[in-house]
Structure 1
């Protein structure tokens, strides 16, 4: 059960695939929701084709995303059916226009995106198109804080050198929501791997402990603040 407090902030998370949000920013989104903030999730790529039938993998991925969102207290706002691992085959302006409409409608205070230099091409495009949609434009007057998150097996596999390196400058204490993060993560259990894969339960906890130790906490999720206006 979530203990809600009064708060007017609107949070938006835009990811390439179902499970990216659970792995990279799950604890933080749960914490936002627990504090009474409105949290919205947009997923760009579910898989090939416009139709989803109940027997295929894409339907199961959508079902998993819905289950995770419900457990996390997150509004699954929109799921697009752009081709999985082929976002580079889609005209980026098409994605940008759709994201602009969502941003103008929700008017988020904070937006979570993939790190632009993730090794996964879909993650790169999801981040880049979101940044284009979030560029300061006089007519929409929306300038949310932009926080980049890390995705296990993607962010960590980028070259460990400038400009690719993920160097966090903001940490969120997720010790108090760790159990909720794990419970929600089970929605994607079939997507998880055996240790020592970075997307195993043990490795995910190890990363949380590592980020916590870097910030004087027991467990944390780490972010790079790309833009913040005060």
Structure 2
């Protein structure tokens, strides 16, 4: 298999919340863009008008998203604007329709989604909706779907029936790890001091572990859910 085959022309990265895309596949996004791929960012949730979130953070978050968009060079950013931390309270059809509409608009060759058994209920809901929206008769243009791991969500699942995140695809991000961490720092308040899981030390440690598993200095790991060649 030629390396270029791993980099389709159009990519959709689905993030339940802004920062999930960076934690899970920030280095891969940078690598894809460097190879000339068209990369779209779908943010499923919003804090606006959602109880439990300080509303003064809403304009700040909008500025963060704009800064992150520029840092990655995303070709476009799409929003479902559904309530954060409450996706499991919505009718599944509403979430499927919202995500499906973006998928039909972008027509991606490849989609990145969060791992199904992350501890955050929003991640599980997004996974289920994305899988439903990408059935081959609904989205025949989607040739690959990969699940990413999210520090502070994937690693904290304690379900006894969860087999755990078991990657079978690794992306060498040795040249992009520093930039990934720099972009993550654009999300004010999302990073913390070690041993907080969303810390520079933890981001580097996970990348180093995945790199050791794949014979490179730093890597991101994924589970292949679907590939049509």
- Above 0.5 in TM-score? yes
Structure 2 Cα separation of the partners of residues 144 and 215 of structure 1: 24
The residue aligned with 1:158 is 157
Normalising by structure 1, report the TM-score.
0.89
Post-superposition offset of 1:76: 4.1
Distance 1:193 1:41, change over 3 A: same
Give yes or no for contact 1:72–1:181 (8 Å, CA) kept in 2: no
Q: Secondary structure at the match of 1:198?
A: coil
CA shift, 1:187, in A, is 0.9
TM-score by length of 2: 0.89
1:72 & 1:205 partners in 2: Cα distance? 19
Is 1:181 the counterpart of 2:175? The answer is no
Q: Is 1:228 aligned to 2:227, yes or no?
A: yes
Q: Which residue in the other structure is 1:204 paired with?
A: 203
Match of 1:58 in 2: 58
- Alpha-carbon offset, residue 183 of structure 1: 2.2
Give the Å deviation of 1:107: 1.3
Moved runs in structure 1, 4+ residues, more than 6 A?
none
Q: What residue in structure 2 maps to residue 99 of structure 1?
A: 99
Question: 1:62 and 1:75 mapped to 2: Cα distance?
Answer: 17
Q: How does 1:120-139 map to 2 (within 5 A)?
A: 120-137=120-137
2:3 matched to which residue of 1? none
Report if aligned partners of 1:212, 1:221 keep a CA contact under 8 Å in 2. Answer: yes
CA distance in 2 between partners of 1:154 and 1:103 (Å): 25
C-alpha distance in 1 between matches for 2:169 and 2:48: 36
RMSD: 1.8
Partner of 2:111: 111
State how far apart, in whole Å, the 1-side matches of 2:65 and 2:48 are: 17
Q: Which runs of 5+ in 1 are unaligned?
A: 1-6
Q: Residue 48 of structure 1 contacts residue 82 of structure 1 at CA under 8 Å; is this kept in 2?
A: no
Q: How many residues align?
A: 219
Partner of 1:4: none
Matched-pair contact (CA < 8 Å) for 2:181–2:203: no
